[in-house]
Amino acid sequence: MTAAIRPVLAEGPATAPLATLEPFDIAHPTHIALVESETAFWGLVRKEQLADALAGGELLESLRAKAEIFGREMDLLRFGLKPSAVYFNPTERCNLNCSYCYIPEAMRSGGAQMDRATVLAALDRLHSYFRGHMPAERLPQVIFHGAEPLLAREAIFAGIEAYGDRFRFGVQTNATLLDEAAIAFLTDRGVGIGLSLDGPIAAVADRTRRRWNGDGVFDQVVRAIDRLKGYPGFNVICTMTSENLPHLTAMVDFLHEHQVPACMLNVTRCTLAGARNVRGSDDDVAQAYLAALERAHALYRTSGRKLVVANFANILIAILAPTARRLMCDISPCGGGRSFFALAPDGSLFPCSEFIGLPAFAGGNLFRQPIEEILDSPPFRLVSGRRIEQVEGCNTCPIRHFCGSPCPAEAYEMNGGMERKGAFCRFYEEQVRYALRLIADGRHEDFLWEGWDEGTETLCSIGAA
Ligand code: SF4
Ligand code: SF4
């Protein structure tokens, strides 16, 4: 993948007037950011040189010289992608009743589930679709997702067995059904495994993730994590809620100690009302999250082993090399309905799993319509057409292409429309500030995967120090 490595530090003298670079305070002792928000071009300058840099100099010249390339690159990322992945929900059912789940209770307690033949038929149709526009050497991704996909274990394992050479598979699971046989099957085939765990001890983790009878599942999840030790293709998702924020740093310790290679510390998606009850405030979430990132860094420095916080690494990459980002919540339009879509057990397609509890966002049915037609349906266009330029308050935000104003499902359900912000604006702002501070201090590489920039191309890196 080609991408621009954006400027790092500039000390430039003044030569020409500048209208487009905008100062963005990153709460750093010596540096401030300058951003050209349309193209996501940025630089860091010493505070005492801000006036000079705004008036002209090396940074401005670079912007002028490369603006067209950066603009094209950003347009390609925002409007030129075609789907390369599907979140495949083989069942609406779940054996847990987590407090923030985006799938309505009635669906999770007794909803539809695909059988083996339906999973295979769906994979067949998906394969034909992806082959139509993806190069043969690039495999599309299928992530079995939930509700709890391992409730349909026999069907999805048959799919992985039959289509292992045509898709890259992943499973996102609550880990309660991840026994030794399942782990052996999945790891033998290189399937990516994502587990969910919300705390470092049962008393915290079980507050939000419980069975229908109220029993916690902490011990089972930890057993699965320990069984996966040494497997590079697994990660743990921790949803940050008001219930676990004070324990987030201890959670990082726990994950590092259990040799988890990567995790995600995700905000609570507030699409459904239940999730809003456990949502932390922006300031509390930001404080706990940044402390957790610092802890992950300290552990890396003392042990030499990284616990990559993947959603934060993605923000850093969005700043350093926008088109190399791997997750698609922090760009607008987001990835929903354009770089991937979600399949429900009855064959309905939704722009993203986040919309699966909202029937109005079903764009059509995989078994009855061409996927291209569904991607162009009004519900899909509502999501894939949500441009940050039309979102109140985000349209003038200097960091809008490092944030993306997630999430359209939240904006629509919680705040009343696609032209509204989602739930965590101030948190996203703090996250970008912190990322830029790390870059100013030269610490950012410590937070990234090894080899994250393989295949990227440096288009602009002036005055790096
Ligand atoms: S922002 Fe929301 S709808 Fe878009 S990809 Fe992320 S979770 Fe899905
Ligand atoms: S949500 Fe907030 S930080 Fe993100 S683009 Fe909008 S105004 Fe900026």
Q: SS3 for the chain, per residue?
A: CCCECCCCEECCCCCCCCCCCEEECCCCCCEEEEEECCCCEEEEEEHHHHHHHHHCCHHHHHHHHHHHHHHHHHHHHHHCCCCCEEEECCECCCCECCCCCCCCHHHHHHCCECCHHHHHHHHHHHHHHHHCCCCCCCCCEEEECCCCHHHHHHHHHHHHHHHCCCCEEEEEECCCCCCHHHHHHHHHCCCEEEEECCCCCHHHHHHHCEECCCCECHHHHHHHHHHCCCCCCEEEEEEECCCCHHHHHHHHHHHHHCCCCEEEEEECCCCCHHHHCCCCCHHHHHHHHHHHHHHHHHHHHHHCCCCEEHHHHHHHHHHHCHHHCCCCCCCCCCCECCCEEEECCCCEEECCHHHCCCHHHCCEECCCCCHHHHHCCHHHHHHHCCCHHHCCCCCCCCCHHHHCCCCHHHHHHHHCCCCCCCCCHHHHHHHHHHHHHHHHCCCHHHHCCCCCCCCCECCCCCCCC
State the pLDDT at residue 2: 32
Reply yes or no on whether the pLDDT at 10 is more than 80: no
Reply yes or no on whether the pLDDT at 298 is more than 90: yes
pLDDT in tens, 370-399: 999 999 999 999 999 999 999 999 999 999
State the pLDDT at residue 461: 55
Reply yes or no on whether the pLDDT at 257 is more than 90: yes
399 lines ligand 2 (CB under 6 A): yes
413 lines ligand 1 (CB under 6 A): no
Nearest bound ligand to the CA of residue 420: 2
Ligand 1 centre to CA of 138 (Å) is 23
Cα–Cα distance measured from residue 415 to residue 410, given in angstroms and rounded to the nearest whole number: 7
328 lines ligand 1 (CB under 6 A): yes
Residues sharing a CB contact under 8 Å with residue 184, sequence separation 6 or more, in sequence order: none
Reply yes or no on whether the pLDDT at 250 is more than 50: yes
Q: What's the whole-model pTM score?
A: 0.91
Ligand 2 centre to CA of 24 (Å) is 13
The fraction of the chain above a pLDDT of 90, given in percent, is 73
329 lines ligand 1 (CB under 6 A): yes
410 lines ligand 2 (CB under 6 A): no
**Can you tell me which atom of ligand 1 is nearest the CA of 330?**
1
Ligand 1 centre to CA of 407 (Å) is 5
425 lines ligand 2 (CB under 6 A): yes
Ligand 1 centre to CA of 48 (Å) is 40
**Can you tell me which atom of ligand 1 is nearest the CA of 271?**
2
Reply yes or no on whether the pLDDT at 76 is more than 80: yes
Provide the mean pLDDT of the chain: 90
333 lines ligand 1 (CB under 6 A): no
State the pLDDT at residue 8: 44
Q: Are 296 and 265 in contact (CB under 8 A)?
A: no
408 lines ligand 1 (CB under 6 A): yes
Cα–Cα distance measured from residue 446 to residue 28, given in angstroms and rounded to the nearest whole number: 19
**Nearest 10 degrees: CA dihedral of 405, 410, 415, 418?**
60
pLDDT in tens, 23-74: 999 999 999 999 998 888 899 999 999 988 888 788 888 888 888 888 888 9
Mean pLDDT of 414-427: 94
State the pLDDT at residue 16: 38
Reply yes or no on whether the pLDDT at 89 is more than 60: yes
**Can you tell me which atom of ligand 2 is nearest the CA of 397?**
8
**Can you tell me which atom of ligand 2 is nearest the CA of 432?**
3
Residues sharing a CB contact under 8 Å with residue 19, sequence separation 6 or more, in sequence order: none
403 lines ligand 2 (CB under 6 A): yes
